[in-house]
């Protein structure tokens, strides 16, 4: 799970590597700090993005949710300055 951050624009893009459990999932990327996000679809191999930019910056908490026909899985992460993500506090 990585984020590409455009500091000047105050935006980030989200990417996630292949995970067969998330094949063709609806993916919700929601910035809890700004109350905005995007919805996209995972590829057949379960990978995502990079997504279109959404409002975000370093330190923001982002909820990521994968919804398939059989399950919903989600987590909250905080965007780090290097584009990586750590769990929300």
Separation of alpha carbons 81 and 71, rounded Å: 31
CB-CB contact of 89 with 60 (8 Å): no
Closest CA to 31 of 75, 2, 64: 64
User: What does the domain layout of the chain look like in residue ranges?
Assistant: 2-81
Q: What is the pLDDT of residues 2-55, one digit of tens each?
A: 999 998 999 999 999 999 999 999 999 999 999 999 999 999 999 999 999 999
Closest CA to 2 of 82, 73, 72, 58: 82
Closest CA to 88 of 64, 62, 68: 62
59-88: average pLDDT: 94
pTM: 0.92
Protein fold of 2-81: Immunoglobulin-like (2.60.40)
């Amino acid at each position: 799970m990585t984020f590409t951050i455009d500091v000047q624009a105050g935006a980030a893009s989200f990417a996630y590597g292949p995970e067969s459990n998330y094949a063709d999932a609806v993916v919700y990327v929601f910035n809890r700090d700004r109350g905005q996000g995007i919805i996209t679809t995972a590829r057949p191999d379960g990978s995502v993005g990079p997504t279109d930019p959404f409002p975000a910056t370093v330190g923001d908490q982002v909820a990521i949710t994968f919804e398939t026909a059989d399950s919903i899985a989600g987590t909250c992460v905080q965007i780090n300055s290097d584009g990586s993500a750590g769990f929300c506090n």
